[in-house]
Amino acid sequence: SIEGRNYDHGSIDVHTHCYLPRYMEVLRNRHPNVPYVIPDPRDSTLDERYVILPGEDNDPTSAIGRPIGEEYFCVKEKLRYMDRHGIAISVMSLANPWLDFLPKDDAVAMSTLLNDDLQEISEDSKGRLYGFATLATQDPIAACKEVERLATSQRMIKGVILGTSGAGKGLDDPALEPLYETLAKHNFPVFLHPHYGLGNEHYNNTGHSLFLALGFPFETTMAISRLILSGAFDRHTNLKFLLAHAGGTLPFLAGRLDSCVSGDHEMCDKLMHPPTYYMKKNFYYDSVIYTTPALQSVIDLVGSDKLMYGTDNPFFPPKEGARSDAEWPSTAKNYDAIDGLEDESVRNAIVYGNASNILGIDLLE
């Protein structure tokens, strides 16, 4: 259980989402194009339904998506969830698929509006909420301008969340170089988060289980590995990424990546360092991986000062419903994984200390 946990401070949650009301309106006007939100066709007094994932609209096991209620878009619900689970501070981000599906100009305009919403919500939160901004990566130059604007005037914004698509050709697209330069210049970390999945053709008849458990982390692993091999972290030595789900599978595969790159002499000559060098220097990792051994392996590889607590709220709600007073088992399991680490100073670092240091967040009294 979460009550009685003995951290000397409440946690800082760096992986927690909110579909801001303005974004909900976009989702409500898209049916039948995924992602969309519709009233429940069986009973319009129930929660609306959200169809989010690629192909979900023709998956018979999840034909009308998932219920979507205030836990997805109300700040009051976020704070209630935080209070229930010992979370002092949340760095909120829009959830997938961000602005990926919008035409370029619409995405650019929406990005500014959403980021201003996030700034304002955070300013009004008495130090409990911060934000990772949303960018229109379809237009990398506009995205640069938005980062400049945020870095100079919107102080509650601590970085940006990005998916893996970039301007349509992935994160190693040369068109994104100016964006990386601007992000590095302003010390804005990129929270890299999956949406599309990888290997989806293999997950027959397993609902969302394998798509989320495997496809999501595989997607993150592929995207960040490509970015490493493009030499991006040699060109932008101060560029920082926070990798969702403890880096996908990257920490486990680090040795193979080093070994296979060093065995490919042409590739190897293009990089100044082995991939694990950048994994230690340029990357942070969230703790959304649910077991102590997985956390320990990240610590062993990159050090205990690189991991930051996350929940993935409001995804993975309890059976009783997201707005019941029930403890969220997904959140408890994540805390349990951290509790299993032996060193108290390491546990405190992961739960709040690292996020405070890395993102420059003041702890609450």
- Read off the amino acid at residue 51: V
Strand partners, 160: 133, 190
Give the strand pairing for 66-68 and 87-93.
unpaired
233 binds, among ligand URA, Zn ion, none (CB under 5 to 8 A by kind): none
* For ligand URA, the closer CB: 310 or 353: 310
Q: How far is CA 358 from CA 23, 99, 188, 228, 242, in A?
A: 29, 27, 10, 21, 10
| Shortest CB 193 distance to Zn ion, Å | 6
* For ligand URA, the closer CB: 96 or 225: 96
52 binds, among ligand URA, Zn ion, none (CB under 5 to 8 A by kind): ligand URA
Round to whole Å and give the CA distance between 279 and 242.
10
* For Zn ion, the closer CB: 47 or 312: 312
Encoded tokens for 226: 């490509």
Q: What track of x and - describes contact with Zn ion for positions 307 through 326 (by CB under 5 A)? A: -----x--------------
Encoded tokens for 37: 């939100």
Which stretch in 71-79, 220-228, 304-312, 325-333 sits in contact with Zn ion by CB under 5 A?
Answer: 304-312
SS3 278: helix
Looking from the CA of 278 toward its CB, the CA atoms found within 13 Å total 29
Q: Which of 26, 51, 52, 68 binds ligand URA (CB under 6 A)?
A: 52
Q: Kindly state whether residue 223 participates in binding ligand URA, applying the rule CB under 6 A.
A: no
Round to whole Å and give the CA distance between 280 and 300.
11
Interface residues for ligand URA in 193-212 (CB under 6 A)?
212
* For ligand URA, the closer CB: 212 or 243: 212
* For Zn ion, the closer CB: 27 or 346: 27
Round to whole Å and give the CA distance between 20 and 95.
9
| Shortest CB 95 distance to ligand URA, Å | 5
Encoded tokens for 45: 């007094």
Q: Kindly state whether residue 315 participates in binding ligand URA, applying the rule CB under 6 A.
A: yes
Q: Which of 312, 313, 331, 337 binds ligand URA (CB under 6 A)?
A: 312
227 binds, among Zn ion, ligand URA, none (CB under 5 to 8 A by kind): none
* For Zn ion, the closer CB: 91 or 257: 91
Cβ-closest residue to ligand URA?
315
Encoded tokens for 289: 């991986």
Q: Kindly state whether residue 219 participates in binding ligand URA, applying the rule CB under 6 A.
A: no
C-beta separation of 169 from 139 below 8 A: no
C-beta separation of 22 from 117 below 8 A: yes
Which stretch in 63-71, 163-171, 262-270, 305-313 sits in contact with Zn ion by CB under 5 A?
Answer: 305-313
| Shortest CB 69 distance to ligand URA, Å | 16
Round to whole Å and give the CA distance between 90 and 87.
7
357: nearest Cα among 303, 291, 294: 303
Contacting positions for ligand URA (CB under 6 A): 52, 95-96, 212, 312, 315
